[in-house]
C-alpha cells in the first residue's frame, strides 16, 4: 500500500463523516465515554473496531502481541486503571484470535531474543494448562485451545487487579473473554465461567478496599 494513499483516504473519510453529520468532529472533540475496554492482539488482520462494527468514541482499545495482560506490564496496567477508574467502562473484554503468531511462537522453542520475556508469559499459560493441552493430539486443535486458554488467563490477570475487583463489587463491572476466528470472520464469546474461576482464585488474589 502506498503510504500517501492514507492521507487521501483520510480526506475522503472526513468528507463522508461531515456529510452524514456536520457536527461530527466537534462532538468527538468534546470527550469520550466508552462503555467497553477492549484488549486485543496487534495482528494487522484483527481490526478491532471494524470487526465489532463500532466507531470512534465507542471502545477504549489496547493492543499488544497476543493480547497479553502481564502483571508487571505498566502499559496494560495503566490502560486498565484509566479505563476502569476514570472512564468507568462497564465491560472489559480480552479478545484473542485463532492463528495468532504470538501464541504460535510460544508453542515453539526458537530463541527470539527481545521477544523471549513477552512470550514467556504465554508459555506460563501453557504450563498452567499443560495437562489439558497435551491431551489434544491434533496440533491445530491444540493451538486453538491454547489461544482460548490464553484469553482465559489474561481475563484472570485483569481480575487480579485492585481496580477491577473494586469495580466488580461496587458497580457490577463485567469481564468477557472472546476469540476472533480469522478463518470465518466470526467473533466468539468463550462464555468463561468467571464465578467458578473466581471461587478458585479469589482466596489468593482478593484485595479489599
- By CB under 5 A, name the binding residues for Zn ion: 41, 43, 100, 102
100 catalytic? Reply is yes
CB of 42 to Zn ion, least distance (A): 7
43 is known to lie in a ligand binding site:
yes
Catalytic residue among 62, 100, 155, 163: 100
Query: Is 41 noted as a catalytic residue in this protein?
Result: yes
To the nearest whole angstrom, how small is the minimum distance from the Cβ of residue 41 to Zn ion? Answer: 3
Distance CA 143, CA 133 (A): 9
Check whether 41 is labelled as a binding-site residue.
Answer: yes
DSSP-assigned letter for residue 7: H
> Considering beta carbons, is residue 41 or 79 the nearer one to Zn ion?
41
Specify whether the CB–CB gap between 185 and 121 falls below 8 A.
no
Percent helix, percent strand, percent coil in the chain, to nearest 5: 55, 15, 30
78 CB-contact burial (10 Å; exposed 0-12 / middle 13-18 / buried 19+)? exposed
Smallest distance, Å, CB 43 to Zn ion?
A: 4
Alpha-carbon Rg for the chain in angstroms: 19
Nearer to Zn ion, 34 or 96 (CB): 96
Nearer to Zn ion, 36 or 100 (CB): 100
Between 41 and 133, CB nearer to Zn ion: 41
Is 97 annotated among the ligand-binding residues? yes
Q: How far is CA 167 from CA 8, 152, 158, 161, 209, in A?
A: 43, 19, 12, 10, 11
CB of 165 to Zn ion, least distance (A): 27
Query: Is 43 noted as a catalytic residue in this protein?
Result: yes
Residue the block writes with cell 502483571:
71
Known binding residues for Zn(2+) are 41, 43, 97, 100
Point out the residues that are catalytic. 41, 43, 45, 97, 100
Known binding residues are 41, 43, 97, 100
Amino acid at each position: 500500500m502506498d503510504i500517501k494513499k492514507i492521507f487521501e483516504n483520510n480526506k475522503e473519510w472526513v468528507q463522508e463523516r461531515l456529510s452524514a453529520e456536520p457536527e461530527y468532529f466537534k462532538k468527538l472533540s468534546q470527550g469520550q465515554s466508552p462503555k467497553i475496554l477492549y484488549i486485543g492482539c496487534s495482528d494487522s488482520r484483527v481490526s478491532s473496531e471494524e470487526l465489532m462494527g463500532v466507531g470512534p468514541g465507542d471502545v477504549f482499545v489496547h493492543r499488544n502481541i497476543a493480547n497479553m495482560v502481564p502483571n508487571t506490564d505498566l502499559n496494560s496496567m495503566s490502560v486498565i486503571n484509566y479505563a476502569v477508574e476514570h472512564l468507568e467502562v462497564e465491560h472489559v473484554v480480552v479478545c484473542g484470535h485463532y492463528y495468532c503468531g504470538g501464541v504460535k511462537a510460544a508453542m515453539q522453542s526458537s530463541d527470539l531474543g527481545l521477544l523471549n520475556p513477552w512470550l514467556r508469559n504465554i508459555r506460563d499459560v501453557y504450563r498452567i494448562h499443560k495437562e489439558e493441552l497435551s491431551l489434544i493430539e491434533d496440533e491445530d486443535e491444540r493451538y486453538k485451545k491454547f489461544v482460548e486458554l490464553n484469553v482465559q488467563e489474561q481475563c484472570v490477570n485483569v481480575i487480579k487487579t485492585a481496580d477491577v475487583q473494586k469495580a466488580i463489587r461496587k458497580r457490577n463491572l463485567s469481564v468477557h473473554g472472546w476469540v476472533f476466528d480469522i478463518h470465518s470472520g466470526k467473533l466468539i464469546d468463550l462464555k468463561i465461567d468467571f464465578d467458578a474461576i473466581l471461587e478458585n482464585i479469589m482466596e489468593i488474589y482478593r484485595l479489599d478496599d
